[in-house]
Amino acid sequence: MTDIDELAARRLAADEQRITGSRRTNVSLGAAWRSFWRAPSPWMISAFLVAAVTARVLAGPGSWWELAIPVGLVALFPLIEWVIHVVILHWRPRRLGPVAIDSLLARKHRAHHADPRDIPLVFIPWPALVWLLPSYVVVAWLVTPSSSSMFTLLVSVYGIKLGYEWTHYLVHSDYRPRSRWYRHVWRNHRLHHYKNEHYWFTVTTAGTADRLLGTYPDPATVATSPTVRALHAHEGR
């Protein structure tokens, strides 16, 4: 570890200690996995995933090119995740005349930043999933040429979404990272929450889209943001 990495690690640890205090413990991966399933969103996503897998099996053999669907989605997901995080989750509330434009996802994400240790706020809100999960079926039906490719797309989407939920939960849980890859993912997301909300937007990868889109600075050169726990609080003043 370089001197800059050590400095960034110390600053991150100090920020997290200041915010979380003595609440942090250490749990096993198995305990984190069992706790994960106490939330409604993993069950909701899994139900759609199982249904999509079943439908894909019943649809029979498809074309060889369908393999490009999961491969392409996995390759593009860091960029998709970055765009969703920046554009939707970090949406700044606006007014259009008397109408406030501020989605449930954006409101819940601001609450998540206010208290990253509030585990229910880590998960995708279940009222959003009620319409979001079925909407994927409509989109897949519109953009694919066959039933087999439609179900292949749905299996890929629901599988990736479940993987996102698990990774995001694990980063915010009391499980401590062991693998080198997960340590980078864990560190980047904590920098986003405890250092500066304007950087480190990727969650499930170690800064891939952030590096590409210029939101992966050296932590030692970034000041701790005064609005990291209160998104948009100082805007317009």
Examine the pLDDT at 8 and tell me if it is beyond 70: no
Which residues, 6 or more positions from 116, have their beta carbon under 8 angstroms from its beta carbon? 19, 122, 172, 193, 194
pLDDT at residue number 50 = 98
Q: Which of 2, 66, 43, 29 is nearest to 186 (CA)?
A: 29
Residue 153: closest CA among 162, 140, 135: 140
More confident residue, 141 or 12: 141
Task: Decide: 102 and 93 in contact? Cβ < 8 Å.
Answer: yes
Among candidate residues 10, 166, 224, 199, the one with its CA nearest the CA of residue 86: 199
Q: What pLDDT sits at residue 27?
A: 84
Mean pLDDT value across the chain? 89
- Has residue 166 got a pLDDT over 50? yes
Residue 142, exposed/middle/buried by CB under 10 A (0-12, 13-18, 19+)? exposed
Q: Residue 16: which residues within 8 A CB-CB, separation 6 or more? A: 24, 190, 194
Lookup result for tokens 């937007």 = 201
CA pair distance 172, 184, nearest whole angstrom: 14
Indicate whether 3 pLDDT > 80. Answer: no
Summarised one tens digit per residue, pLDDT across range 170-197 is 999 999 888 888 999 999 999 999 999 9
Is the pLDDT at 62 greater than 80, yes or no? yes
pLDDT score at 236: 46
Quote the pLDDT of residue 97: 82
Q: What is the mean pLDDT of residues 151-178?
A: 95
Which has the closest alpha carbon to 229: 89, 109, 92? 109
- Our measurement of the distance from residue 75's CA atom to the centroid of its chain's CA atoms, rounded to an integer in Å, reads 16
> Tens of pLDDT along 24-46?
567 899 999 999 999 999 999 99
Mean local confidence (pLDDT), 107-132 = 96
Tell me what pLDDT residue 23 has. 52
Q: Are 210 and 188 in contact (CB under 8 A)?
A: yes
Q: pLDDT-derived band of residue 13, with 50, 70 and 90 as boundaries?
A: low
Query: Which pLDDT value is given to residue 177?
Result: 83
Q: What is the pTM assigned to this prediction?
A: 0.87
